[in-house]
Structure 1
């Protein structure tokens, strides 16, 4: 199965993505005042959740996270780092966001490709690319009793950059132009959109005329 990257490079990129996602999970556990087991649980869920969901859906079993010990241990390393150094990690929160955006770009691209290589249609592959990139964060928020960031209107765009990156990979597959360079470009596009949304506060639109409609409904009920 062609991954378009050297396997050792792909493995290293996967671990980096898992690590930064796991840090965000462990940090949320600290803010929620969870104990070390809760921190490890959120770190594992955030780092591995999206990839596990994708692999189960496409029938790639056992999932990669259960075949490679490094995938399982990386979130534990992130947990230990946050456990002992969380004030420092909080201070470099912007750096964590940068790496998180890089993981988003990487996972939406590789998730789409892997789903397509297992025989899924391009639209289904895009959906699983999004799930790979954002599924861990959604699982983290649900476990922490938070509204998933993916669904919150008051947060900068997260799903849209992942969909754009995954959609670009699908287009490249459709036109038979996918290679290491173009796949990297698709991942960088998702990364850039996420960073721009953080920089300029871009958010996905809410329902059209939502405010005026709500006002009218309130007046009518009165």
Structure 2
């Protein structure tokens, strides 16, 4: 590895270290209570080093959210766009839930905290909440596929996709906020899977 490549690798690693530290601090203490100095101290960097990579806290949070949505998009891409639309929609729902349960801190930044939306506005994003829109379009595409195939009765794919997203988001939020403790632990995964399947059936019957 040459000097230039090594410098670029080190730069990438430092940037990721900053993002990882910020992720933990934002979710543990809240965006407003964390300063750039706090982030620098967590990874033993000087505040000046942080500013070499991010001009302010908003830009840092915007980058963190964009990275998280990239990971979710990658999980969605693992679902084949071909085949039965109903099965595709179920698979997307499972991937969404798996992502939320495996990456609870990222999920909170992406969907629960208001700060990322304010940060995005401060960064003058070209497309409002581009990551969220891309994820939603994946769901809407599966719904439209089902409508075109005559599997789903809804006429408006966007409306139906919003209903689907709300359902899966609700399941993820109930799990992460530990509200599913009303059910025995060994039944929770089966109950979530059953809820996903039942909701898919409701979408097909048009109720």
Report the TM range for the smaller structure's normalisation: 0.3 to 0.5
> Which structure is larger by alpha-carbon Rg, 1 or 2?
2
Q: Give TM-score, length-normalised by structure 2.
A: 0.36
TM-score (normalised: structure 1): 0.34
